[in-house]
Amino acid sequence: MDLSVIGTIIAVILTLMVYSYLIGDNPLYRLAQNIFVGVSIGYITLVVIYNVIVPFIGRALQDRPWLERVLPVLALLLGALLWYKAVRPRNVFANAVLAIIVTTGAALGLGGTLVGTLLPQLQATMLPFSSDIGSIISNIVIIVGVIVSLGYFYFTAKPDGTRTVTAGYVATAGRWFMMVAFGTLFGFAVTSFFALLADRIRFLISPGS
Amino acid sequence: MADDYREEEIIVPLRCPNCGGLNPPENKVCQLCGFRLTGATPVSPPGVDVVRSGDPSASPPAPSPVTNIAPAAPSIAPASAPPTPNSPAGRGSSLAARLGGAGSAAPPPAEWLGDLRRNIGGDAPAVNDQPLPPPPPPTIAAYPSPAARSAGGGFSVSQPDDQVGYVAPPTPSTSPYRREDLPRPNSEPVDWLASLRASSSLSPEAEQDAPDEEEESPPVAVPDWLHRMRAESAASAAVTAGEDDVNDAPPWLTDEVAEDTGPLDRADSVGKPVPDLHPWLHEGTVTRGSDGATQTDVPPSAAQAINLPPWLQQPPEPAPPAPPDFSDLFTNRPAANVAAAGQAPPSTTTLGSSGGFLEDSDAPAWLREVAAAQPPPMPQAMTAMASPAAAEAAAATEAGSPEITESDALDQDDVSAAPPAWLSPPASDGEDAVETALPDESEAVSPADEAPDQEQAEVSEATPTTPAASEVVSTTPPIATASGEDLPPWLRVVGGESAASMGDSAMPTPVVAAAATPTTASFFPTGNAEDNTVPDWLRGIGRESQDGSPASAEALTAAVAEPVQHIQRVMTVRSPRPGAAEALAALVAAPSASTRTSPLELKDERKVSASVMRWLLSERGIYLLTALVMVVVVLADRVGGLQPLAVTSPAANAQVDSFYKTINNLETQSGAPVLVAYDWDANRQAEMAPLARAITCHLGAINARFATVSLSPTGPAFAQQVALATVDSKTPCTTRRYQYGSDYVNLGYSAGGDFALRSMVGSIATVFSNDYVNGNPLFGAGGVPALKGIKSLGDFKLIIVLEGDESTARSWVEQVASQPNTPPLLLGEPAALDPSLQPYLAVAAPTRFVGKVAGLSDVARYQYDLTAKGLNMAKTDLSFNLNALSFAALLIALLIIIGNIVFIARLVNRRK
């Protein structure tokens, strides 16, 4: 028997076991869940070993300039120092490596967020009102939505514990905007899950396709 | 011996768990509420008053049927153990406190009982010589055990002994109610009867047989008159013919003793099966017939005729063999011997009037005074009923022979005015009389044919009757209710009938005694002695007591009645609820619960239905319903009969069109390198796999070489799978089959996320050195041809990002698109990420995604464009998935509409 056929049969069985959760939590569902987790971890481990670690070691052993050979070794050494966190969480070497990772990631993320997210978002709210009426209305809605949504998180109040009526209205409008946004997110998420369900149903009906 | 005798009189009423009322230990059901008393908590034996049938108050009827009990605060015998709320003593104390009032300050009965013991031991005559202490209030009549009653204990209100000149003031150290002195159920029973037998043997042989016990008994100074009483008793017992058994007690008594191992066995045997008839009906109702045999005073017919409550009308037990007659014991035997006879003497028997120890000069003066008192005249009916011996006794009574109740003689502590002569037993009748006259419980309740029904009813009414009545404490003074105005109707009827039948007889009003336990207060109708309801014989006793007894009867009654008026709390006695027994029988006869639907089952059914509805209307149920709809649609689509939403002309989408055009523009640049990022996992396969296949086919159609990279560990596998399914298959979607390494290459997975992307912007070689499939070097002399001329991301002409995660897509924008000299980016995403990644579309800023395909609908549009270009995209099965998704979306929309309608309807109804 072809391995693909065996694999398809196993996939059908596991799919049915997973969808048995529609009836209720049961051992079959949990078994399939555990199998999925185990297979995923095993696969990822192999991928990391053969696609990350081994090439790094091979790169150090290749006939390359000494800097290109030392850097992979240094990277492996720093990575090995992270194991101290498992034994001694306050180990200075592990903290040093972790500090390198955090600071580098923070710097990289700050630059990328500022340039790639914050400024483009600010630029996206500065929409023109010069195009067609539909775009104008759309841009107005976007701008108002951004303002009132930010106004919802404006928690400053007067000394007597109250805030202005305008702030209340803004907060209420912002809450409604966020509710619409969250509903949209949920709707799209459900659509994605339904697409996956449809794909699985199709797979169960015609596994070979 | 006296201690044992006392202890035997301890009764343990049962407290009803339902209403809290006190019930006799023999009761199976509560006499107040009808609740079953099985497992009921017995009330403290020490805390409850001790009652002896020998009390003079027990035999004559009380003038008042209501105020028949405990006219004043009860005297509670203290227990040796400290009373606690849960302990019997504590409960008894609490009972005393509830009933108490003035009586709560009375000296503990244990003290006077202790003194009583000492007096019996050798100083009894001195009791009369001592000045009477202040009269303590009478005690509540506790219901005696059958054994106690048969031994002379009756159901009555114990009068303070010192008030009637019986006992000396108490001493606390000689309490007969010490728990450790009482026989315990699980321990070896105390041979209290043996001591009785030893001290009160019926024959000299018996005395010889039990010398050790007397030797072992504590040296108690027995007065001479008591010795003589014992000797006389022994002499009379020696006459007994055919008495082989040398034991003191007759067989019936030994049997009973064997059953009751101690005085408190009655208390311990709570919950055991008891005879149907209340034991208190067994004793006290026994009178001596004309032939000297014991007769039952209460014929059932009479009891029924007087419309007694149902619990009084229980059928009697079959009569057992006639017990021996102890009449001689009552008449000639010393009190000690009679007491040794155990439970034999009935309460209505009296000591013989023909001399005996009462005439002895050594007899106590108080006893002789009582004996000298004028007995009440015997009713004519009773006289006719009585046997010759009884007639003699009656004659002796009329002659003024002093009579003392049997138990008085037994106790040596309860001497009071003599009961009427009609209650007196005949003179010495010999052993036969003893055998036949012995009170037997079953016989006591058997119909007595010797006497007329009316007379029997009257006599029975003259005996202590209901235990419930014994616990009645009325705020009404006894004298005030002597007329019976406060009686229940049925008692009035009885009283009227009795009065009518008795005529001018001096028989006490049966009404008075029927519902009440005679109390000392009612026994001495002092203040209202001229009342017509008080019989003459009772008035005579009162006068005699006033004249001859150490305590004035009137003063005694006044002292007794006074506390009664202070009692505020009334333990009302209710008659059994009408139809209670029938209702119980109906319940028993009703079908079992299994044959009918109980409310619990109905509740369970409702729970099941509610749980089913909850499950169906829950998220899980909606998913299941949607899945069913999808199955139907896919099956219909597969069969070919249903293609309502086939991808024929999907709606135009600017982002999709931009996406398509951007790729299609590379057609002019043959062999343009394109980087495709597979950053999605299996959970996005339904949406991303068709898109990936369409993109790969499109790249093959424009003859572009491409490399795949992944920031997700599972990405490289999907990338390879898609390539093998489209361009690198035997039947590719393009005009030619792509070759791995030369036309496309799989770079594999790169760890690090943002770091890897930023590194690839600078140099791909720092991140990837070998390909994913073969592990061959990517760069250098032996590098793959697909990456020819590629060193960084800027060398690619196009980057297509297939994202399944928002953060990774943002990383592509932040770390790659924002950098200069980077190619344009296209975004392929599932529908779930579309709202989140919408701001990263290059509507106004060119450094973001220039096009996107989100979800199956966009994929359909994209495939429509590819189909229009001439590509064969039929194998993507997008139509099946899209049709199923469309029906599912319609179903969800329908459910949302229904849910909103229901919500609005409920809201409207709620506002209405």
B478 in Cβ contact with B531 (< 8 Å): no
B170 in Cβ contact with B114 (< 8 Å): yes
Token couple for B395:
């004659």
User: Cβ–Cβ of B714/A184 closer than 8 Å?
Assistant: no
Token couple for B610:
């509610």
From the CA atom positions of chain A, what is the Rg in Å? Answer: 27
pLDDT at B201: 47
Say whether pLDDT at B802 is over 90. Answer: yes
User: Cβ–Cβ of B885/A191 closer than 8 Å?
Assistant: yes
CA distance B62 to B430: 33
- B625 touches A at CB < 8 Å: no
- Ranges A6-10, B267-271, B494-498, B779-783: which has the least confidence: B267-271
Scanning the structure block, which residue is given the tokens 């805390």? B47
Mean per-residue pLDDT for B752-762? Answer: 88
Mutate to test the interface with B, among A47, A68, A204 (most CBs of B within 10 A): A47
- Amino acid identity for residue B417 in this structure: A
**Nearest alpha-carbon partner for B623 in A31, A24, A15:** A24
DSSP B680: -
Q: What is the DSSP string of B371-382?
A: HHSPPPPPPHHH
pLDDT at B537: 59
CA distance B368 to B362: 10
CA distance B571 to B469: 9
More confident residue, B423 or A96: A96
What would the pLDDT profile of B862-878 be if each residue is shown by its tens digit? Answer: 888 888 877 776 555 67
B82: CB partners within 8 A, 6+ apart: B89
pLDDT at B453: 46
3-state secondary structure of B55: coil
Say whether pLDDT at B84 is over 50. Answer: no
Mean per-residue pLDDT for B208-228? Answer: 52
More confident residue, B326 or B893: B893
Q: How far is A198 from chain B (nearest CA, A)?
A: 5
More confident residue, B268 or B223: B223
B-contacting residues in A 149-168 (Cβ below 8 Å): none
A39: confidence class by pLDDT, cuts 50, 70, 90? very high
Beta bridge partners, B673, equal B705
Q: What percent of chain B has pLDDT over 90?
A: 5
User: Cβ–Cβ of B818/A206 closer than 8 Å?
Assistant: no
B646 in Cβ contact with B879 (< 8 Å): yes
Q: Write down the pTM of the prediction.
A: 0.48
- Amino acid identity for residue B102 in this structure: A
A-contacting residues in B 801-830 (Cβ below 8 Å): 810-811, 813-815, 817-818, 830
Say whether pLDDT at A46 is over 50. Answer: yes
Q: Which residues of A touch B719 (CB under 8 A)?
A: none
Per DSSP, which regions of A160-202 are E strands? none
Mean per-residue pLDDT for B232-253? Answer: 51
B371 in Cβ contact with B409 (< 8 Å): no
**Nearest alpha-carbon partner for B883 in B631, B654, B692, B656:** B631
Mean per-residue pLDDT for B120-148? Answer: 45
Phi and psi at residue B302, to the nearest 5°: -65, -40
- Give how far Cα B686 sits from Cα of B581, B636, B689, Å: 76, 20, 6
Contacts from A55-58 at CB under 8 Å and sequence distance 24+?
A55/B768, A55/B769, A55/B770, A58/B769, A58/B770
First-to-last CA distance in chain B? 85
pLDDT at B117: 60
3-state secondary structure of B220: coil
∠ CA B529-B531-B532, rounded to 5°: 130
More confident residue, B834 or B124: B834
What would the pLDDT profile of B175-196 be if each residue is shown by its tens digit? Answer: 444 444 444 444 444 455 555 5
CA distance B747 to B750: 8
**Nearest alpha-carbon partner for B421 in B390, B385, B389, B387:** B390
Q: How far is B811 from chain A (nearest CA, A)?
A: 8
pLDDT at A209: 59
From the CA atom positions of chain B, what is the Rg in Å? Answer: 54
∠ CA B227-B230-B234, rounded to 5°: 140
More confident residue, A68 or A1: A68
CA distance B708 to B801: 10
Q: Which residues of A touch B814 (CB under 8 A)?
A: 109, 112-113, 115-117
**Nearest alpha-carbon partner for B30 in B662, B574, B724:** B574
Mean per-residue pLDDT for B758-787? Answer: 85
Phi and psi at residue A74, to the nearest 5°: -65, -40
Say whether pLDDT at B625 is over 50. Answer: yes
3-state SS, one letter per residue, for B6-53: HHHCCCCCEECCCCCCEECCCCCECCCCCCECCCCEECCCCCCCCCCC
Q: How far is B722 from chain A (nearest CA, A)?
A: 14
B379: CB partners within 8 A, 6+ apart: B420, B422, B455, B458, B502, B505, B506, B507
Closest residue in B to A196 (Cα–Cα): B686
Q: What is the DSSP string of B856-902?
A: HHHHHHHHHHHHHHT---GGG-HHHHHHHHHHHHHHHHHHHHHHHHH
Helix or strand run (H / E) with residue B455: helix B453-462
Scanning the structure block, which residue is given the tokens 């009654």? B557
- B685 touches A at CB < 8 Å: yes
- A209 touches B at CB < 8 Å: yes
CA distance B25 to B489: 28
Helix or strand run (H / E) with residue B852: strand B849-854
Mean of the per-residue pLDDT values of chain B: 61
Q: % helix / strand / coil in chain B, to the nearest 5?
A: 45, 5, 45
pLDDT at B569: 62
B707 in Cβ contact with B797 (< 8 Å): no
Token couple for B278:
């209340």
Per DSSP, which regions of B282-391 are E strands? 286-288, 294-296
pLDDT at B388: 47
B451 in Cβ contact with B459 (< 8 Å): yes
Most confident range (mean pLDDT) of B250-254, B383-387, B764-768 is B764-768
Per DSSP, which regions of B697-766 are E strands? 705-710, 744-749
What would the pLDDT profile of B574-623 be if each residue is shown by its tens digit? Answer: 777 778 888 888 887 766 555 555 556 666 777 777 777 777 677 777 77
- B848 touches A at CB < 8 Å: yes
pLDDT at A133: 84
- B779 touches A at CB < 8 Å: no
Q: How far is B86 from chain A (nearest CA, A)?
A: 52
In terms of phi and psi (left: phi > 0; alpha: psi -120 to 50; beta: otherwise), the region of B789 is left
B754: confidence class by pLDDT, cuts 50, 70, 90? confident
Could you tell me whether strands B22-23 and B14-15 are parallel, antiparallel, or unpaired per DSSP bridges? antiparallel
B465 in Cβ contact with B283 (< 8 Å): no
pLDDT at A179: 93
